[in-house]
Amino acid sequence: METIQLNIRGMTCNGCVNNVKNVLQKTPGVAGVEVSLEQNRATVTYDPVKASPAQFKAAVEDAGFDVV
Ligand SMILES: [Cu+2]
């Protein structure tokens, strides 16, 4: 397993946090997700054989947020 931190722009409330969490958790290969509204950050634990950071970025952006 590997862990990556994504800096996310556009989250304003716990609903946003849950959206981001959900789309990341739905990505195949993701084992765990933590999202901090205060820090505008998602921490993703994933299997590098099945998932890649580019997929996380795309999933978050599809949900309407920016990865910076
Ligand atoms: Cu919100």
Is 46 strand, coil or helix? strand
Please give the distance, rounded to the nearest whole angstrom, from the Cα atom of residue 19 to the centre of ligand 1: 8
**pLDDT (0 to 100) of residue 47:** 98
Report yes or no: 60 and 20 within 8 Å, Cβ to Cβ.
yes
pLDDT at residue 65, as a whole number: 98
| Ligand 1 centroid, distance to 49 Cα (angstroms) | 32
CA of 50 from ligand 1 middle (Å) equals 29
- Indicate the domain borders of the chain: 2-50
43-60 pLDDT per residue, tens = 999 999 999 999 999 999
Low-confidence ranges of the chain (pLDDT < 70): none
Q: Which of 13, 10, 12, 32 is nearest to 21 (CA)?
A: 32
Q: What pLDDT score was predicted for residue 44?
A: 98
Instruction: Say if strands 30-36 and 41-46 run parallel, antiparallel, or are unpaired.
Output: antiparallel
pLDDT for 6? 98
> Domain 2-50, what fold?
Alpha-Beta Plaits (3.30.70)
pLDDT value at residue 14: 98
